Chain A
Amino acid sequence: MSNSLWRKFVNVLMHAASALSVLLAVTALLAVLGYVLLNGFSALNTDFFLRLPTPVGIPGGGVANAIVGSMIVIGLATLFAAPIGLGAGIYLSEFGDNWFGDLVRYLADVLSGVPSIVVGIFAYALIVSRQGYFSALSAGFALGVMMLPAITRTTEEMLRMVPTTLREGALALGVPRWRTTVSVVLPMGMGGVVTGIVLAIARVAGETAPLLFTAFGNPFWNVDVAKPIATLPHTVYTYAISPYADWHAKAWGTALVLTGFVLCTSLLARRLGRQRHLS
């Protein structure tokens, strides 16, 4: 084979290999989502959403407590992380051109790389071991810590995109700096900030590892934040590793609800982000 033919052959071969790699990645996703959809759908019925779990061997029942529990824990996490992340983001974009700002930026990056299980240990050591009981509150704290870096950095980025001329315009009219930030800069960047928060929620909603020794799980109804609470990801875990076929079916159903929630939330965030760009 001549040299130029060989080179053309390699060219075609490598194009095919690249396309094949993409195909493989897409197939993997479809395989995972397909099985979750297929096995999960047959486990869903109205009881699944409205009833409490039944003891082993008794058919029926659902995961209503875990759905509500997940909402409570995510709500607590957002309540904890949103104000801190927003404030820190405002600090970084409006006041943070100094060494302290650089430190905060660096540490936010460090925090976003900390494995979720380590955050779980942190919440356990800081809250659970001091109080002596597992609680929804400590789980909310753990997930909040995981949300913090994302919210902080998106807030900073979004506010930095607001043109400096707007700030200068407001300041030139004699508006104090804090009023400029609150009434001019924040409203302009708010869409992006909200997108960032929604994305952060989507990212932690499926986290299980930080909940193992904070929320702990609870087979009963509970809305008290000072008590152990059931959550969707933790329910998937306990049901999946149990030896009962009925629980396995419920694990698939719960996984479908959880994956559906996470994917819908990230799609929603993406939609919000795109609308902002268009307008």
Chain B
Amino acid sequence: MGIASRSARRRATLGRINLGDAIFGGWAWLMAATLVLIIVLLVLELYEGSKLGISRFGFSFLIEERWDPVFERFGSLPAIFGTVVSSLLSLAIAAPLGLMAAIFLAEMAPSWLDQPVSFIIELLASVPSVVYGLWGLFVLVPILRDPIQRTLYRSLGFLPIFGCTPLGIGMMAAVVVLAIMILPYATAVARDMLRAVPNEQREAMLALGATRWETIWRAVVPYARSGIIGGFMLALGRAVGETMAVTMLIGNRPDISPCLFSPAYTLASQIANEFAESVSPLHVSVLIELGLVLFVITLILNGLARLLVWRISRGEMRGAR
């Protein structure tokens, strides 16, 4: 039954307005309005807080490379660079893994295996960020520093991306932990999207004599493509906004370096690291402005992702009818 017809019928049932209804409806409306108010306040406070920085630097804030609290020269380019590089690289690791894992769970695994594994992957999503940071700091970083980065530096050090002192802490550590953290999101959404593909797609392809894999790769995955991409963008949004684990691992230095081993910054980690010890009102203001930039980036990413996921789930509803 459609929503519209339901509410129309309800409206028809109720001719007159009763006082209790007015109060109850008013209360519910007020709570819904509070939610709207909170978001309006959030945007206003972010704008208000970053006004000082905006009026001082304008748009050059986005392309200025220096970040110098002492001489009050502030630019967000290092943080934007670090955010883009760390999130894209982590997605480049997590996306293929997530897609393959989703294919396994949705298309290949028997149900006795699918359920517990899906459960374990969902657990992976609920481990707190700060715990990933702790694990990265004491388990991953030592491994990265000695065998992995040192070997890369010795053998491929002539390449700019491997051409600096292996510190352990830095971009690479942040990327690896981010990839582990967003893998469950990418997997879960991709799995749901693959499950939404109608069986006719598979049957038709198998009837043509295709192998299981050819069916999956040529008939199932392309059908769910936009939804899967949407899921990956949701995961990217997570990586962009991820704070604690990155703050603990990326080394926190406002540098733009092509080298994967060197310390860097992201928008979120710069705020987390400097906010509590900021030295001047301008410093606070530019940190809030970083928050505003981060907010806008995630807004765009999540909007695009929702659009893609929504399109495929609407297609699924149409197919089911």
Contact = CB atoms under 8 A, between A and B. Distances in A.
13 contacts: A8-B211, A10-B214, A26-B120, A84-B35, A107-B35, A113-B298, A117-B241, A119-B42, A121-B49, A167-B10, A208-B129, A258-B130, A266-B123
Interface stretch (B52-60, B67-75, B134-142): B134-142
The 6 closest A-B pairs by CB, nearest first: A206-B128, A87-B31, A115-B241, A178-B24, A18-B104, A21-B100
B28 A121 contact: no
Given A115-B268, A240-B133, A206 B127 contact: yes
Interface string A207-220: 11100110010000
Contacts of A24: 97, 101
A43 B124 CA distance: 23
A28 B28 contact: no
Residue in B46, B212, B271 whose Cβ sees the most chain A Cβ within 10 Å: B271
Interface in A67-91: 83-88, 90-91
Given A32-B180, A36-B135, A15 B108 contact: yes
Contact of B139 (A31, A87, A108, A109): A31
Contacts of A167: 10
Given A19-B104, A91-B28, A115 B240 contact: yes
Given A11-B213, A171-B13, A203-B126, A25 B46 contact: no
A226 interface: no
A24 B10 CA distance: 53
Interface of B: 1, 3-4, 6-7, 9-10, 13-14, 18, 20-21, 23-25, 27-32, 34-36, 38-39, 41-42, 45-46, 48-49, 96-98, 100-101, 103-105, 108-109, 117, 120-121, 123-124, 126-135, 137-139, 180, 183-184, 187, 211-214, 216-217, 237, 240-244, 248, 268, 271-272, 275-276, 287-288, 291, 294-295, 298-299, 301-302, 306
Contacts of B237: 113
Given A36-B131, A178-B23, A212-B276, A148 B126 contact: no
A87 B28 contact: yes
A11 B45 CA distance: 55
Contacts of B117: 22, 26
A24 to B, nearest CB: 6
A130 to B, nearest CB: 10
B213 A10 contact: yes
* B interface SS class: helix
Contact of A118 (B41, B134, B241, B248): B241
A115 B211 CA distance: 43
B35 A152 contact: yes
* A interface SS class: helix
A138 interface: no
B18 A113 contact: no
Given A107-B39, A114-B298, A164-B6, A28 B180 contact: yes
Given A25-B184, A263-B126, A126 B243 contact: no
B34 A88 contact: yes
A80 to B, nearest CB: 10
A24 B186 CA distance: 14
Nearest to A240: B134
Given A32-B127, A252-B134, A22 B35 contact: no
Interface residues of A, number: 96
A232 B216 CA distance: 45
A4 B167 CA distance: 50
B127 A86 contact: no
A176 interface: yes
Interface stretch (A44-52, A53-61, A94-102, A190-198): A94-102
A135 interface: no
A229 interface: no
Contacts of B184: 25
B271 A117 contact: yes
A17 interface: yes
Given A26-B120, A115-B294, A236 B130 contact: yes
A242 B80 CA distance: 27
Residue in B41, B108, B291 whose Cβ sees the most chain A Cβ within 10 Å: B291
Contacts of B272: 117, 209, 212
Nearest to A160: B3
A104 B35 contact: yes
A125 B49 CA distance: 7
B306 to A, nearest CB: 7
A25 B183 contact: yes
A232 B268 CA distance: 21
B35 A88 contact: yes
Contacts of A95: 25, 28-29
Contact of A125 (B48, B134, B276): B48
Contacts of B27: 87
Contacts of A164: 1, 6
B20 A179 contact: yes
B4 A97 contact: yes
